[in-house]
Structure 1
Amino acid sequence: MQVLSHGGKRNGAGRKKGSGAFGEATKVVRIPESQVDTVKLWLQNYKEQVGEASLENLDAISGMMEEAAQLLPLYSHKVVAGFPSPADDFIEDRLDLNEKLAPNHSSTFLLKVQGESMRDAGIFDGDILVVDRSITPRPGKIVIAALDGELTVKRLDIRNDGTYLLPENPDYPDIKVGAESEMVIWGVVTSCIHQF
């Protein structure tokens, strides 16, 4: 009489050791469903760019891990600011905040806000501004200006009677840039990071 065994390890069963895509033994790991695509992408990049791990390419592996960690899920469902609606659990893409906030990476810098003069534009004390030096400052843009050696964030306005730096708070006066004043525009504000 033959006894059949179900489950457990059986001789000769399963994939042969070293026969996988990476040529080595594998291990089962539980991964959150929302991170499966990130792990697959990382493994694909690892296989294509790094190959077999060695001391020389540990920096490359580390860099890819950091890059994958910077990607955040971007859901295709939009959030309603009125009446709520059922949310979708569908991830449309992975979003790199560096790519979104600083597409011109080499010309972008960050500044921390001090004061309330731009409150009505949604810029508050302690916020972090993303500033791009490569964008041409035009009337209506919020800019970082060095006026007589002092940095300020204001909305740029050019009128018949001169150049103005305008606050977005009625408690602060408009600043007319006089002929004797020295003004250098450092860059245009593209985003404001405001934490609650």
Structure 2
Amino acid sequence: MGFTLLGPLAEGGVRLPRCSFKVPAGFPSPATDHMEAPISLDEVLSLRAPHVFLVTIDGDSMQGVGIFSGDLAVVDRSIEPVDGHVVVALLNNDPMCKRLCIRGKRVILRSENPQYPDRHVLEGDDLSIWGVITYSVRSHAH
């Protein structure tokens, strides 16, 4: 599973209305009685922070954690990657999105789809963790 680096969010942003209730997945409730102050998604997702960038995910090896091909992922470079984090990484210049697994001195980049093997980082491999994925955004319009 690869990714396309989109970079930081450009200046500007639109504040969207926010409802004060959680939306049930069943029968809808009239929302106009529950409107609160507008919010900005770039503020909620910390998209304007200098250490945050966006990537588009390419591939389905992480669908087990709800990250699908075409999703937009928010990557935070300020978070220290630890065992269990979903990360954006380069392994021998091969870009990927995987779960970081640390087992003693062994490092494994784990797929979350049984159709794909884990990537074991071997002695002599060049591993660079670009950041930790904090959010993913998916379009349901298609």
TM, length-normalised to structure 2? 0.83
Structure 1 unaligned blocks of 5 or more:
1-62
Shift of the 155–104 alpha-carbon distance from structure 1 to 2, 3 Å rule, reads: farther
Runs in 1 of length 4+ with deviation above 6 angstroms?
A: none
1:78 aligns with 2:22: yes
Q: Distance in 2 between matches of 1:142 and 1:187?
A: 9
1:127 aligns with 2:71: yes
How does 1:105-116 map onto structure 2 within 5 Å?
A: 105-116=49-60
What's the CA shift for 1:84? 2.3
Shift of the 158–177 alpha-carbon distance from structure 1 to 2, 3 Å rule, reads: same
1:177 aligns with 2:121: yes
Match of 1:11 in 2: none
What's the CA shift for 1:78? 1.0
Kept after mapping to 2: 8 A contact 1:111/1:130: yes
Kept after mapping to 2: 8 A contact 1:104/1:132: no
What's the CA shift for 1:106? 0.5
Instruction: Give CA-to-partner distance per residue, 1:124-148, whole Å, 9 cap, x none.
Output: 1111111010111011110001100
Instruction: Give CA-to-partner distance per residue, 1:41-74, whole Å, 9 cap, x none.
Output: xxxxxxxxxxxxxxxxxxxxxx9xx55xx10011
Higher share of residues assigned helix: 1
What's the CA shift for 1:104? 6.1
Higher share of residues assigned strand: 2
Which protein is bigger by CA-based radius of gyration?
Answer: 1
Q: Which of residues 88, 96, 101 is equivalent to 1:152?
A: 96
Query: What is the aligned-residue RMSD (CA, Å)?
Result: 1.7
Identify the structure with bigger relative contact order (alpha carbons < 8 Å, sequence gap 6+).
2
Match of 1:164 in 2: 108
How does 1:47-58 map onto structure 2 within 5 Å?
A: none
Matching residue's letter, 2:85: K
Structure 2 unaligned blocks of 5 or more:
1-10
Q: Distance in 1 between matches of 2:28 and 2:68?
A: 30
TM, length-normalised to structure 1? 0.61
